[in-house]
Structure 1
């Protein structure tokens, strides 16, 4: 029972806290977005502070003036009352007679025999005291209301007054002014007049209420005036922001309305002049871009005919190179090689022209994207073999079916692999693929351990013909447009192509595509950055695929080529078919689900438990000198250029 009640209270409190939090977030959002609201609230806050200070000062001044006037009137009334009492008590020495005379004096000062009298200072009560025969004190009136401190001053022959809280017989309880005076005619006589301050209190209450209402009305008027003035200022700014947004969306004819000749009108005119200038420049740039694209496309098409003729002649000469002297044969070979590069550049220019013109189309097929990766690996395998670079292929065992254009996906992977081989510094290059049905994503990562990228170059690598080090030789014979075309192909698929790099550590490119077109692309199944843990300094055979220390590997099997049943990926036999590319020197087909075995190769592998969370078998070359991959030698720096083999 108690637990249930506590649970309901906790849920109620959680709901209340959530409501206050949502209201606070809504108010904060409105506060950040509304300049008019901030101006109005700031004005009201400052006005409230000023009005409060003025109210306190005015109330204090008025209160002091009222009390000063009350005191002056009370002093004058005291002179009249003292004379009246002295006339009643002159020549009287008997105590009983003194008491009677004191009562007569009180009645004389009263109006109509009541206990209060009315004078210029207002209504007051009278209290009298004197010392009679036998040093006995005789009093008349409410002497109990007179403070002892005030009596002490009066007994010292001083006219004094004091503010105190009293209760009179009429039922009044509140502040009062009590003034006392000694008598020069009757030595022991003390005369006290008690003035209730109820009238002054009502006046002050009325004044405070009037000031409060006036302050509230003034604040409301200030809020309305400030909102109106702020609206007149904010409306042109909002109009400028709205028109600027439309202008940014491509509606270059949008302009602000100019009214009058004030500052806002000058702002509108300046904005319109700026918009007109930008519109003209954008139009000129668009026309120039169209002319440039048309020129590139026309030149590319026009060059095809002479290129075909030159190709035929070069093939004819190259076919007869055996009959030529060595110099001419070498020239024929160089001619064919350069014609191949020129033809590749021409094809890339035509492809980039189609992207620029917006006429590039996808030939969508539903297929296993592993086929695209295997085809790309098969294409660049000879480059890896020539450069002494090992390719590590890590593909899922299960098919990954996606709706893609296989030709474009294969071209993207081919460009990334060729680019990685060119900059790998003869270290292993990894291609890894994973899919996530929940995220509707398939990711392909190509990673090398070469010279890497400087900060900021991960965006520049996708620029056309960009090279960090122009002196670097392209082994793949690329044209400098491969990565530019690759990012356009990724955009056509509604996917992403991203780059990461660190000098001396390497570079990583990640292609993320949707499994099903038309559905939202979620998070990538693979990490872009490599694992932070580096194992290159450990001796060969001291780590397993998970990166954990193991015992040294056993002696190699005398048979040498016998397959290892525990690790079929490490002992795969060459085979070219739908199940995978042939394993030739420089290529390793990694099986993500195979049990790792101790290896004696100087390489490092990332396992399914690798720090970056990528279930892979990435192999990395150690640093034989025992130094980090990112050493201090600046001569090892090179560019990450785009390659289209």
Structure 2
């Protein structure tokens, strides 16, 4: 037993052909039945006409034979002359059967009862004219039709003479014509079936091609080819539903490709961030190990050297502490844990706080720190702590890359729309055009700027300050613009809207679900490095305790170092 077709194209073709065949069969039966009924009615009408013609001739023959006498007496007996005439079965009577009636002719003479509306035949008044000798035409055949008899009444009154004529098994062309119609219908059905096969093949191909393309594209995407698409548009599908499906598939594939690319970027970015974290942490850790090893060797270091090593170790610990704090802050921003607490407050307070925090550093570096703030309050909905952090990062960054004798200026301008603009401008080393597009990348510290700024900038920078600034500005639905010329200075312009919630446009598409997991994975790996930092710090504390105990045993020679060491430890 053959298995049924499994392909969609074969199934559609078989289903279409079966539907057309069933429709043709049902239509053929209905048409043939309708035509047969029409031919039957035509045959009945023809027999009725022939029967009336026969009755007219028989009446004429009966009247001629009876002469002036009655054809049927009032007692119901047929006139002998009439009887003898119809018993002859001569050529004239045969002509009636063979040419006029084209059937066997039954003739009955009798009395018509007008009151009872009943025909009473005479006992000897029935005659049958046979048409057996008749040669039927090629398209004629005996019909089983039994016609109603036709009567003629000679005179009025309650009892009247009457003749009844009935045609038996008349010749008819009904069967031949029905066969002809059936043949035509069969031929038309065959042509229709052939045409339906061609149409079915064409339509199934049109319908199956998009499905095959969908299957092929889905398989390609499953194998990693995210660029696979299907043909779309009115010409690609047979109906609007399939066209919409093709278009939606391409939209889905486009979104999938975008999501996967975002995941890959997130993965690559996570790996790069992990490598950067490892590098940033291992540098101070290596220095701390060296300091610990040197401090552990009490005979190889004198008191001033040990103090210098301890001071340097403290700076390295501060650097790691700042680095881990920045990493944690950015991780909270990325995960959406840290959200701005918006309040309508004077933006000048946040800016002035950041300037006051940086004033001492500016004096140490010999850099003038100027401010140009409006005299009236600037009310903007913002998070004072986050905005202050962003301004502080920009000011610290400007001080770092401005040489002694330079100037850093912070300017605030209220706008007519209710927004506010903050400009942090310096006349430092500037940023080269090649490095400008990357300054907001995490852990990116540039090369030319660091080389021009000197050793102190390389030692203190983590490459996260500007990334934090960018995140804070984005959380406030603001905008940040950078203008810089190498050797001339840099200007950062921050614009904060009057209300970040009203300034938000259409919500951005959500990050792929694996983005946070990538961040967690990076955080877990970084935690291992921070654990190693903790171990190194513990060793350093043990050495410091040992150094303190040693200083107390040798009171006089090592008194100054002991005091300094305690001060450093408390710090």
**TM-score of the aligned structures, taking structure 1 as reference length:** 0.34
**TM-score of the aligned structures, taking structure 2 as reference length:** 0.38
Radius of gyration: which is bigger? 2
